[in-house]
Amino acid sequence: MAQVLREMQAYRLEVLGVSQMRWTGQGQFSSDGITVLYSGHEDQHTHGVWIFLSKGAASALIGWKPVSHRIVTARLQTQQAKVTVVQVYAPTEAEEDSVKEEFYTQLQATLDEIPSYDMKLLLGDFNAEIDSDRRGQNINVGPHGTAWATSNNGEKITNLCVSSGLTIGNTFFKHKAIHKKTWLSPDNNTRNEIDYICINTRWGSSLADVRVFRGADVSSDHYLLVGKIRLKLKRIAKKKTVGPVAVGKRKDPDTSHSYELELSNRFSVLQQDLSIEEKWELFSTSVRNSAETVIGRRRGTNRERWISDRTWNLIDDRKEAKKRKDQEYTRANAKAEALNYRNLDKEVKKSCKQDKRTG
């Protein structure tokens, strides 16, 4: 959770949809100023869909609905119109046809319930591949599909968009393959475009771009897919908050000694002939600046204070490993970097568990 919130803030996302989170039940809560809406199985840790809303987007939230463990919706008020976001996790190609039919029937009913004047945003992992053959569906499908051939699931999402008046946003924007492919296979050899952002055709001109950002890392085999939309949310101005000083570092003798030395050097100026108010201002500033210089601010929010600096550093190392893995051109080097990434991922999970026990 902390890693997802961190990446959402780093990429300045107003709305983030996540598939296959595997939480049970349905609910809503807030963490670090971000509102989370989730819908999962009642008792099985499978599937599950989430919508994360920034503080501004949450203030524009009109209502939301946990449709099923594969579908969740949220309705927002903007300055131009109301927006309904539908986050989904579609069955894979290997699922039985009855499961697929049930999902798409339920999704079609969900889309039909949305008022026709709303902007509809359909997001998620569709486990579907779409090629560049538009098959006469020029309004709904663009010329920049990346698959060799449209899969069975690709036909289903295409037919859904035609019947619902939606445009498959990814297919209308030309990018390099690294900015189109959204999924990496476990063996690090296959990349496919299976996640999509769709918008109703009447609002299609509001969609400025859809592309992948491979730098985001939350230990997932999917890359972050971002769509830019020209809309202004009706939201409350956000105040910038500063994290507390990491006072726990004072337990380290070397850090404590460095802090005392820095403080004594700054206190030397207090010998000047100053008024009481000026001395107090100088004293408080000296203590605060010394702490920031030597100790530094604590990473994470108050809820995440149990996460140690060692774990945060491992998360940073894992993110750098992911970047190296994605940028390798030779299969041998990519395989070695993938192994290094998996080892670091294990270290992150192990360190998190240890922090949770000791925190």
3-state secondary structure the chain: CHHHHHHHHHCCCCEEEEECCCCCCEEEEEECCEEEEEECCCCCCCCCEEEEECHHHHHCEEEEEECCCCEEEEEEEECCCEEEEEEEECCCCCCCHHHHHHHHHHHHHHHHHCCCCCEEEEEEECCCCCCCCCCCCCCCCCCCCCCCCCCHHHHHHHHHHHHHCEEEHHHHCCCCHHHCCCEECCCCCCEECCEEEEEEHHHHHHEEEEEEECCCCCCCCECEEEEEECCCECCCCCCCCCCCECHHHHHCHHHHHHHHHHHHHHHHHHHCCCCHHHHHHHHHHHHHHHHHHHHCECCCCCCCCCCCHHHHHHHHHHHHHHHHHHHCCCHHHHHHHHHHHHHHHHHHHHHHHHHHHHC
Q: Is pLDDT above 60 for 338?
A: yes
Tell how strand 49-53 and strand 15-19 pair up.
antiparallel
Give just the sign of the alpha carbon dihedral 266, 271, 273, 277: positive
Q: Is pLDDT above 60 for 239?
A: no
Q: Is pLDDT above 50 for 236?
A: no
At 125, which amino acid appears?
Answer: D
Q: Do 240 and 207 form a contact (C-beta atoms < 8 A)?
A: no
pLDDT for residue 235:
52
Integer Cα distance of 27 and 286 in angstroms: 46
Average pLDDT along the chain: 87
Integer Cα distance of 2 and 208 in angstroms: 29
Integer Cα distance of 66 and 25 in angstroms: 9
- Other CB atoms within a 10 A radius of the CB of residue 38 amount to 23
Tell how strand 34-39 and strand 49-53 pair up.
antiparallel
Integer Cα distance of 249 and 299 in angstroms: 12
Integer Cα distance of 141 and 168 in angstroms: 6
Residue 126: which residues within 8 A CB-CB, separation 6 or more? 88, 90, 153, 157, 194, 195, 196
At 290, which amino acid appears?
Answer: S
Say what the pTM is: 0.71
Q: What is the dihedral of CA 318, 90, 125, 58, to 10 degrees?
A: -100
pLDDT band at 328 (very low <50, low <70, confident <90, very high): confident
- Name which residue leads in pLDDT, 59 or 298: 59
pLDDT band at 329 (very low <50, low <70, confident <90, very high): confident
Residue 352: which residues within 8 A CB-CB, separation 6 or more? 307, 311
pLDDT for residue 289:
80
Q: Is pLDDT above 60 for 238?
A: no
Q: 2-229 has which fold?
A: Deoxyribonuclease I; Chain A (3.60.10)
**Over the stretch 162-192, which tens digit does the pLDDT of each residue have?**
999 999 999 999 999 999 999 999 888 899 9
| Average pLDDT of the segment spanning 227-254 | 68
| Average pLDDT of the segment spanning 114-134 | 94
| Average pLDDT of the segment spanning 52-59 | 93
pLDDT for residue 22:
84
Residue 153: which residues within 8 A CB-CB, separation 6 or more? 90, 91, 92, 93, 100, 126, 127, 128, 129
| Average pLDDT of the segment spanning 335-346 | 90
Integer Cα distance of 18 and 124 in angstroms: 7
CA 171 to chain centre: 22
pLDDT for residue 278:
72
pLDDT for residue 299:
61
Q: Do 125 and 73 form a contact (C-beta atoms < 8 A)?
A: no
In the chain, where the domains are located: 2-229, 247-295, 309-358
Q: Is pLDDT above 90 for 270?
A: no
Strand partners, 51: 17, 37
| Average pLDDT of the segment spanning 19-45 | 89
